C-alpha cells in the first residue's frame, strides 16, 4: 500500500519505493505538510513537526493570534486573504468583489487508480505498476467552494503527481483569479535553486543560484511554456552533484503560461509552488461547475541530480508518453528545412529522397513552404492547400514518388497560426486572437488563431486531417512559431476574456488528441520555433519534440544536457546538420555531429545532394551506428559523467542498458589543450562485479575499475572531436 491513513494521529503517509511524504490534519481543519524526503518506516512522533505546540499555537487554543498561525503553518495548499502572506496558490473573488478564502478539511478518499483529467494531459497507471490516489476534500462554506487536493503515488517511479480541482457549490458565480496545482512548505536548509533557462536557439541551459530571502520566480506569460524559462523548479542541497545531495523537483504537465516560485520566508521556512500563471488568467466558475488545474510531477532524490533524471525518464516513459512509437524504432529522417528552406519543388524533393535512400535514410520530411503561395514566412499560414506550382499533382503524387524511392513521407504544419496574407484571414479576420480596436502585434509576419473557439478548432482539425486522409503520410511535425499577444477572443463575453489563454491550450490539446485518435499509427513530433513548447504536456501527445533550432553540435551539448536532466533521450529531437552551422557558423566534424544527434531521435537536416564521397561514407557509418545503438539509447539509463559547462573543456555522458550488460559512452573533447595526459572518465551505472569489453579495441576492464578508477581517454588533436565507447559485459 502506498497510502496509509493513521486515524488516531490524523496523518497520511504516502510512500514510494525510496521516498515518504507526510501530511496531517490539525484541529480537524487545517491540512498541513509534515515531511517529504527519504523513506520512513513509520511516522511515529511525526505530528509534532506541524509545530502546533509552538507559539502562536493553533486557533482553537489562541484565536487572538490566528493570523500568526496562518502565516507560519506549513500548508499543503496555501490560500490568499486570511492571514498567510506567503505566495498563495488560490485567489477566488466572489460576485460581490471580495477576495479571501479559507479551506477546512471535510473528508478524504483513497482510489486504487490514477484518474484521467478530462481535456488535459494526465499521467497514468499501468498493469503491474498500479497507482493509488489520495483525494482530500476541503471546503470554504462562506463562499461555497470545494477544493479537492489530489496526490497520485507512483510507487515504482518515486514520483507523486499533484493536482487540484475546484467546485462551485454555491448559488453565485465565483471568479478564479489564481489556481496553482501544488505547494510544498518545508524548512529552509540552505537550499539552492536549479532551473532551466535560455532563449530561442539556447533553450534549457541549467542555471543554479542560492536561495536567499524573498521570492525566486520562473514563469512564462508567452502563451506557451517558452524558450526562455522551463516549467521546472528544483531546490537542491548546497553543492548537490550528479550523485550526491538532495533534490526537490517540480515539473508542470502543461504547455501554456506557468509560474513556479520558491519563497524563503521569515521563520526559516521555504515554500515551493507551481501552477498556471495568474497574469491574464481568470476563470468564471458557474454554480455547480468545476475547474481542473493541470498536474505537477513532484520528485525527491537523496542521491543527487542523476537519480532524479533517471526516475523522471522512467516515469515519463512508463506513465506519460502514450505513443505506440515509445519503444518502437524511430525512422531515420531527413528534413528539408536546413537543406532548402522555402526553395524546393517536387523534383528536388525526390532527388533528396533518392540520395537519402541510397545512404539508408528511411523518411523524407517536407518542412515549411509546400502550401498556399508560401515562398517566405510572410504568407499563407491557414491556407493548407498544396502549392501545385511546386508540387504538381498534389501531395499524394509526391508521396508516391518518394515511396518509390523507398522512403516513408512526413509533413510539416503550423496549424495554430494565420498569415494576414492568406485566404483564411481575408475570409475570417475575427478568427485571430485580438483586442477590439487594436491591431494585433505581428511576429514572424503572422497572427495566432483563436483556439479558444470551437469552430476554429474544428476548422483547423479538418485542414490537417483531410491532408492526412488523402495521402500515405507517416509523420507530422507540428510547429508553432510565435508567442501569444493581444489575447482576446471575438467569441467570448467580456467576463470570460481571462479564460482565453487556458482555453487556447485546451484547444491545442483537443486538436492533437483528435489527431492521434484518428491516425493511431502517426508519428507526431511537436515543435515550437525549436524547443519553446518542450514540456511534459506535449509529451502526452507526441513521443518526441524538436529540441532546438540550434543544430550546432557544440551548442547542442548544453541544450541537450539541460533537456536530458528531465526528459528521456528518446524524446529529444536531434539532427545532423550542415557546416558551417547556419546559426552560429561553427565548423564541427561530421562525426561529432553524428555522435551528438545519436543521443536524441537522430536524423538529418542538410542538402544531401551536395555531399562529398567521404561525407556519404561517414553518413553510412552513422546510420549503421544508429541501428546498432537505438534500443540502448531509447530505453537505457542515462548518466551524466562530465559537463563542459562546468569544466570548459569536455563533455561526457553515458547510457547503460537496464540489465547493465551494455553501455555507450559519448565523449566530446570540446577544446584541445597542449601538453596534457589522458583524462579519467569515471563511468557510472555498471555492474561492479562484471567484466566489460570495449568493443572498439577489444580491451577488457572490470566494471568497478571503470567506475572508481575511471576510463583513460587519451588526448585528441583538435577541437570539437568526439568518441563513442561501447562496452559489453562478458559475464554470463
Ligand atoms: C521552426 C522550426 O523549429 C524549424 O525546424 C522549421 O520547421 C521552421 N520553423 C519552419 O518555419
What are the distances in angstroms from CA 43 to CA 110, 134, 301, 436?
19, 17, 20, 58
Between CA 305 and CA 158 the distance in angstroms is 14
Residue-level pLDDT at 531:
98
User: Which pairing describes strands 691-694 and 721-729: parallel, antiparallel, or unpaired?
Assistant: antiparallel
The mean per-residue pLDDT over the stretch 261-268 comes to 96
Residues 386, 371 contacting (CB under 8 angstroms): yes
Strand partners, 525: 477, 544
Residue 371 Cβ inside 6 Å of ligand 1? The answer reads no
Instruction: Determine, yes or no, domain membership for 174.
Output: yes
Looking at the 3D structure of the chain, how many domains does it have?
A: 2
Residue 471 covered by a domain: no
User: Does any ligand 1 atom lie closer than 6 A to the CB of residue 362?
Assistant: no
Handedness of CA 617, 618, 623, 624 (dihedral sign): positive
Residue 515's alpha-carbon distances to 4, 294, 512, 547, 637, in angstroms, are 40, 21, 5, 22, 31
- Ligand 1 centre to CA of 730 (Å) is 45
| Active-site annotation holds for 450 | no
Range of the domain at 677: 640-729
Whether 129 is in a domain gets the answer: yes
d(CA 715, CA 676): 7
* Protein residue closest via CA to atom 11 of ligand 1: 368
Residue 714, all three cell numbers: 587519451
Establish if 613 belongs to a structural domain.
no
pLDDT tens profile 667-693: 999 999 999 999 999 999 999 999 999
Given a contact cutoff of 8 angstroms between Cβ atoms, the answer to whether 411 and 395 are in contact is yes
SS3 550: coil
- Check residue 510 and give its pLDDT: 98
% of the chain at pLDDT higher than 70: 100
Cβ 484 vs Cβ 433: under 8 Å: yes
CA atoms of 543 and 605, how far apart (whole Å): 20
Asked if 196 and 204 touch (Cβ cutoff 8 Å), the reply is yes
* Residues 152/315, Cβ–Cβ less than 8 Å: no
CB of 140 sitting under 6 A from ligand 1? no
Tell me how far the alpha carbon of residue 568 lies from the centroid of ligand 1, in angstroms: 22
Instruction: Write the pLDDT tens digit of every residue in 90-124.
Output: 999 999 999 999 999 999 999 999 999 999 999 99
Has residue 691 been placed in a domain? Answer: yes
**Given pLDDT bands bounded at 50, 70 and 90, which one contains residue 560?**
very high
Nearest to 5 by CA among 579, 664, 31: 31
Residue nearest to atom 9 of ligand 1 (CA): 529
Long-range contact pairs involving 421-428 (C-beta distance under 8 Å, separation at least 24): 421/378, 421/379, 421/380, 421/445, 422/372, 422/379, 422/380, 422/381, 422/382, 422/383, 423/372, 423/382, 423/383, 424/382, 424/383, 425/382
Q: CA triplet 434, 439, 443: central angle to 5 degrees? A: 80
- Cα distance between residue 434 and residue 437, in whole Å: 9
Question: Which of 162, 136, 338, 189 shows the shortest CA–CA distance to 254?
Answer: 162
> According to the model, what pLDDT value does residue 595 have?
98
Burial 662-672 (b: 16+ CB within 10 A, else e): bbbbbbbbbee
| Cβ of 368 less than 6 Å from ligand 1 | yes
Overall size of the chain counted in residues: 732
Tens of pLDDT along 707-725?
999 999 999 999 999 999 9
Quick one: which of 25, 33, 29, 32 has its CA closest to 5? 25
Contact 224, 255 (CB under 8 A): yes
Query: Is 105 inside any structural domain?
Result: yes
Query: Is 714 domain-assigned?
Result: yes
Report the candidate in 260, 274, 198 with the shortest Cα–Cα distance to residue 531: 198
| C-alpha 479 – ligand 1 centre gap (Å) | 7
pLDDT for residue 732 is more than 80: no
338 lines ligand 1 (CB under 6 A): no
Residue for grid cell 476563470: 283
User: CA-CA distances (angstroms) from residue 112 to 134, 159, 209?
Assistant: 9, 16, 40
CATH number at residue 644: 2.60.40.1180
H or E stretch at 484: none
pLDDT of 495-505, one tens digit each? 999 999 999 99
The pLDDT score that the predictor gives to residue 731 is: 79
What is the C-alpha separation between 99 and 101, in angstroms, rounded?
7
Question: What would the grid cell of residue 456 be?
Answer: 476554429
**How many angstroms is it from 529 CA to the middle of ligand 1?**
6
Does the CB atom of residue 540 touch ligand 1 within 6 A? no
| Atom nearest to 605 CA in ligand 1 | 5
- Look at residue 230 in the predicted model and tell me its pLDDT: 98
Tell which atom from ligand 1 comes closest to the C-alpha of 528: 3
Domain edge (last residue) among 307, 322, 344: 307
pLDDT per residue as tens digits for the range 154-165: 999 999 999 999
Eight-state DSSP code of residue 330 = P
Helix (H, G, I), strand (E, B) or coil at 636: coil
Active site (annotated) includes residue 314: no
The CATH number of the domain holding residue 206 is 2.70.98.60
Q: Which of the listed residues 307, 325, 352 is the one where a domain comes to its end?
A: 307
199 pLDDT band, cuts 50/70/90, is very high
Mean pLDDT along residues 1-22: 96
Residue in this structure with the C-alpha cell 541549467, named with its chain if needed: 206
Q: Is 626 in the pocket of ligand 1 (CB under 6 A)?
A: no
Q: How far is it, in rounded angstroms, from Cα 116 to Cα 120?
A: 8
**Domain-ending residue, one of 263, 288, 307:** 307
Give the mean pLDDT of 546-569: 98
Q: Is the CB of 549 under 6 A from ligand 1?
A: yes
Helix axes 613-635, 346-359, angle to 10 degrees: 70
Average pLDDT over residues 447-457: 98
Percent of the chain with pLDDT over 90: 98
Residue of 377, 415, 481 best suited for mutating to test ligand 1, as the one with most atoms within 8 Å of CB: 481
Whose cell is 460581490? That residue is 96
Contact 730/719 with Cβ under 8 angstroms? Answer: no
Q: Helices 346-359 and 394-404: crossing angle, nearest 10°?
A: 30
Q: Given a cut of 90, is residue 387 above it in pLDDT?
A: yes
Q: In angstroms, rounded to a whole number, what is the distance separating the alpha carbons of residues 387 and 623?
A: 33
Top mutation candidate among 199, 368, 482 for ligand 1, by most atoms within 8 Å of CB: 368
Q: Find all residues with CB under 8 Å of 379, minimum gap 6, and list them.
A: 372, 373, 419, 421, 422, 445
Whether 589 is in a domain gets the answer no
pLDDT tens for 233-261 read 999 999 999 999 999 999 999 999 999 99
Q: Residue 236 has what pLDDT?
A: 98
Mean pLDDT of the chain: 97
412 CA closest ligand 1 atom index? 7
- The beta strand positions in 637-690, using DSSP E, are 637-642, 650-656, 662-669, 679-681
Which grid coordinates belong to 158? 518515486
> Which pLDDT score, from 0 to 100, does residue 1 have?
79
Amino acid at each position: 500500500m502506498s497510502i496509509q491513513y493513521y486515524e488516531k494521529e490524523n496523518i497520511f503517509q504516502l510512500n514510494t519505493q525510496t521516498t515518504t511524504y507526510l501530511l496531517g490534519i490539525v484541529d480537524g481543519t487545517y491540512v498541513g505538510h509534515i515531511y517529504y524526503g527519504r523513506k520512513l518506516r513509520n511516522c511515529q512522533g511525526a505530528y509534532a513537526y506541524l509545530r502546533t505546540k509552538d507559539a502562536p499555537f493553533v486557533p482553537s487554543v489562541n484565536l487572538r493570534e490566528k493570523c500568526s498561525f496562518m502565516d507560519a503553518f506549513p500548508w499543503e495548499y496555501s490560500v490568499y486573504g486570511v492571514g498567510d502572506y506567503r505566495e498563495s496558490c488560490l485567489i477566488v473573488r466572489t460576485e460581490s468583489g471580495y477576495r479571501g478564502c479559507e479551506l477546512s478539511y471535510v473528508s478524504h478518499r483513497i482510489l486504487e487508480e490514477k484518474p484521467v483529467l478530462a481535456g488535459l494531459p494526465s499521467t497514468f497507471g499501468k498493469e503491474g505498476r498500479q497507482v493509488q490516489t489520495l483525494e482530500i476534500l476541503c471546503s470554504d462554506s462562506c463562499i461555497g467552494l470545494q477544493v479537492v487536493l489530489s496526490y497520485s503515488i507512483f510507487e515504482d517511479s518515486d514520483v507523486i503527481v499533484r493536482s487540484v480541482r475546484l467546485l462551485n457549490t454555491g448559488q453565485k458565480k465565483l471568479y478564479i483569479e489564481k489556481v496553482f496545482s501544488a505547494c510544498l512548505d518545508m524548512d529552509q536548509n540552505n537550499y539552492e535553486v536549479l532551473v532551466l533557462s535560455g532563449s530561442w536557439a539556447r533553450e534549457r541551459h541549467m542555471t543554479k543560484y542560492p536561495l536567499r530571502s524573498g521570492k525566486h520566480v520562473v514563469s512564462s506569460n508567452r502563451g506557451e511554456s517558452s524558450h526562455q524559462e522551463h516549467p521546472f523548479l528544483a531546490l537542491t542541497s548546497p553543492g548537490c552533484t550528479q550523485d550526491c545531495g538532495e533534490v526537490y523537483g517540480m515539473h508542470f504537465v502543461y504547455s501554456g503560461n506557468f509560474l513556479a516560485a520558491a519563497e524563503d520566508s521569515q521563520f526559516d521556512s521555504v515554500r515551493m509552488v507551481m501552477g498556471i500563471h495568474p497574469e491574464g488568467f481568470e476563470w468564471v466558475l458557474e454554480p455547480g461547475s468545476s475547474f481542473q488545474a493541470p498536474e505537477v510531477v513532484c520528485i525527491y532524490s537523496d542521491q543527487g541530480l542523476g537519480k532524479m533524471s533517471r526516475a523522471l525518464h522512467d516515469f515519463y516513459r512508463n506513465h506519460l508518453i502514450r505513443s505506440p512509437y515509445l519503444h518502437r524504432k524511430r525512422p531515420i529522417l531527413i528534413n528539408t528545412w536546413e537543406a532548402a528552406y522555402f526553395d524546393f519543388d517536387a523534383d528536388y524533393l525526390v532527388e533528396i529522397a533518392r540520395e537519402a535512400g541510397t545512404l539508408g535514410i528511411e523518411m523524407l520530411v517536407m518542412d515549411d513552404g509546400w502550401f498556399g503561395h508560401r515562398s517566405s514566412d510572410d504568407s499563407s499560414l491557414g491556407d493548407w492547400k498544396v502549392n501545385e506550382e511546386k508540387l504538381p499533382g498534389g501531395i499524394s503524387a509526391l508521396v508516391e514518388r518518394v515511396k518509390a524511392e523507398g522512403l516513408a513521407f512526413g509533413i510539416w504544419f503550423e496549424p495554430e497560426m494565420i498569415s494576414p496574407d492568406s485566404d483564411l484571414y481575408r475570409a475570417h479576420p475575427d478568427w485571430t486572437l485580438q483586442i477590439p480596436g487594436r491591431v494585433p502585434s505581428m511576429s514572424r509576419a503572422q497572427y495566432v488563431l483563436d483556439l479558444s473557439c470551437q469552430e476554429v478548432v474544428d476548422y483547423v482539425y479538418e485542414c490537417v486531417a483531410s491532408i492526412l486522409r488523402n495521402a500515405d503520410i507517416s509523420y507530422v511535425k507540428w510547429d508553432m512559431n510565435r508567442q501569444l499577444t493581444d489575447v482576446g477572443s471575438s467569441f467570448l463575453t467580456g467576463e470570460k476574456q481571462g479564460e482565453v489563454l487556458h482555453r487556447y491550450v485546451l484547444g491545442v490539446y483537443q486538436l492533437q488528441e483528435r489527431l492521434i485518435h484518428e491516425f493511431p499509427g502517426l508519428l507526431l513530433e511537436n515543435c515550437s520555433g525549436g524547443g519553446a513548447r518542450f514540456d511534459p504536456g506535449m509529451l502526452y501527445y507526441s513521443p518526441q519534440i524538436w529540441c532546438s533550432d540550434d543544430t550546432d553540435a557544440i551548442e547542442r551539448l548544453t541544450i541537450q544536457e539541460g533537456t536530458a536532466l528531465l526528459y528521456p533521450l528518446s524524446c529529444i529531437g536531434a539532427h545532423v546538420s550542415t557546416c558551417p552551422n547556419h546559426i552560429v557558423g561553427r565548423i564541427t566534424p561530421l562525426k561529432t555531429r553524428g555522435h551528438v544527434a545519436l543521443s536524441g531521435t537522430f536524423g538529418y537536416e542538410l542538402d544531401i545532394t551536395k555531399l562529398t564521397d567521404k561525407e556519404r561514407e561517414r553518413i553510412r557509418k552513422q546510420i549503421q551506428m544508429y541501428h546498432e545503438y537505438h534500443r540502448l539509447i531509447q530505453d537505457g539509463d542515462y548518466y551524466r559523467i562530465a559537463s563542459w559547462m562546468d569544466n570548459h573543456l569536455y563533455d561526457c555522458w553515458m547510457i547503460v542498458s537496464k540489465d547493465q550488460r551494455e553501455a555507450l559512452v559519448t565523449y566530446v573533447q570540446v577544446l584541445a589543450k597542449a601538453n596534457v595526459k589522458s583524462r579519467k572518465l569515471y563511468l557510472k551505472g555498471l555492474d561492479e562485479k562484471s567484466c566489460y569489453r570495449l568493443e572498439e579495441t577489444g580491451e577488457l576492464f572490470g566494471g568497478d575499475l571503470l567506475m572508481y578508477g575511471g576510463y583513460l581517454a587519451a588526448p585528441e588533436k583538435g577541437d570539437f572531436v568526439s568518441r563513442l565507447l561501447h562496452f559489453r559485459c562478458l559475464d554470463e
